[in-house]
Structure formats: C-alpha cells, structure tokens
C-alpha cells in the first residue's frame, strides 16, 4: 500500500480529547467526495469510544466498520472507568473523507474539522486553508436604502432620517413618501 501524499505546507495536526488523550493526523493532497482535502488519522491515535446523539449516520457506520475490521481497537485500561472515558486506539492509518469526518471519528460527535484540528502551537487548521471553506458567522446586514422598484438603488440622500450602521449622519428624506423607498418602508408611521 502506498503512503498518501501530505498537502505541502501543512504541519502535523492534533485534537485533544476532552477527558484525556490525543489524536494526530495530516491533511492530504487528494480531495474527498465533498470537495475538501482528505485527512489521514495516524496509527496509534486515541478515539473516544462513546458516541453522542449528534453523530451523523455516515460517521456512525464508519466507526462501526472500523471496529469490525479491527481499525479501531479497545485500549486496555482500568475497567472501572466510566464509559465516557473509555478509548479506542487506531491500529492503522485511517484515511477520512475530510478533516470534519476525522474530527467526528475522534470525538464521537460531529465537529468542524478546520476549527478542531490544531498545530502543536495551537493554530487551527483553518489558518492553512483558503478562506473559501468557511461560511460567514455574521448575520447578513443590508446597508443603505432598499432598492427601488425599477431596480436601481436610490441615492443615500433619499434614505430615512434614521441613522444607518453604515452612515450614522445620513440626511433626512427630502422628497414625498412615494419617491423615498426607505421612507415608504421604514417611516410609514411618520408619513
């Protein structure tokens, strides 16, 4: 079996399990089925044995297949440990379809791979990826006046007398209510 090619310029990445233990892996040059780079979970990594209700069906099947094939084996530990502290150990390198799939395998619940996987210095994998993977975490904010029915955007001077986040010193609407779109929608109580 040939060794997969690591993505150039990316270091070894780690996840620390919440109740002790660590997993290590590398981002691969090959792309997975969802358009992100595949991820290689290294042999000897610890994986949480417990699965949580938030774990997706595909990740559950993947964990079960790895257990059945011997890819994940029980770690011999104190049998008196509570079930949430039991661990599996990867008996071979495991290629995952994405960093998020690898994080779900390790944690036992769905997680963001680019945020979960970190370098030894604590930098997230997201720092090594293009910014295109990340969805905006901010609510959409429409700045300025709403568009006119004709499709054009009215000049800023036609906006309502109320301040906008983008222009706190906006001038009052100077035209009649039907020529000022913002006044029609925002100031209808005053008109």
pLDDT bracket for residue 18 (50, 70, 90): confident
Q: List the Cα angle 9/40/127 in 5-degree steps.
A: 40
Choose among 45, 55, 53: nearest CA to 17. Answer: 45
pLDDT bracket for residue 184 (50, 70, 90): very low
User: What predicted TM-score, i.e. pTM, was given to this entire model?
Assistant: 0.65
- When the pLDDT of each residue in the chain is averaged and rounded to a whole number, the result is 75
pLDDT digits (tens, 9 = 90+) for 21-71: 899 999 999 998 888 899 999 999 999 988 888 898 999 999 999 999 999
DSSP class of residue 131?
G
Q: What is the pLDDT of residue 6?
A: 93
Q: What is the pLDDT of residue 187?
A: 39
Q: 59: how many CB neighbours lie within 10 A of its CB?
A: 23
Tell me which long-range contacts 125-132 makes (C-beta under 8 A, separation of at least 24): 125/10, 125/13, 125/27, 125/99, 128/9, 128/10, 128/11, 128/27, 129/37
pLDDT digits (tens, 9 = 90+) for 64-114: 999 999 999 988 665 666 666 788 999 999 999 999 999 999 999 999 999
């Amino acid at each position: 079996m040939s060794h997969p090619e690591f993505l150039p310029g990316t270091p070894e990445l780690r996840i620390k399990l919440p109740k002790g233990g660590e997993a290590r892996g590398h981002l691969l040059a090959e792309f997975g089925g969802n358009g992100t780079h595949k991820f290689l979970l290294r042999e000897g990594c610890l994986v949480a044995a417990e699965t949580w209700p938030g774990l997706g069906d595909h990740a559950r099947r993947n964990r079960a297949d790895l257990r059945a094939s011997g890819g994940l084996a029980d770690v011999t530990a104190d049998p008196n440990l509570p079930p949430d502290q039991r661990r599996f150990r990867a008996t071979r390198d495991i290629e995952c379809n994405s960093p998020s799939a690898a994080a779900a395998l390790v944690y036992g619940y769905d997680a963001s791979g680019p945020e979960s996987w970190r370098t030894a210095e604590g930098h997230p994998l997201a720092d090594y990826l293009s910014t295109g993977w990340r969805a905006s975490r901010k609510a959409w904010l429409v700045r300025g006046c709403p568009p006119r029915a004709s499709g054009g955007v009215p000049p800023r001077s036609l906006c309502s007398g109320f301040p906008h986040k983008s222009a706190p010193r906006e001038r009052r609407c100077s035209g009649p209510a039907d020529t000022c779109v913002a006044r029609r929608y925002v100031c209808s109580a005053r008109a």
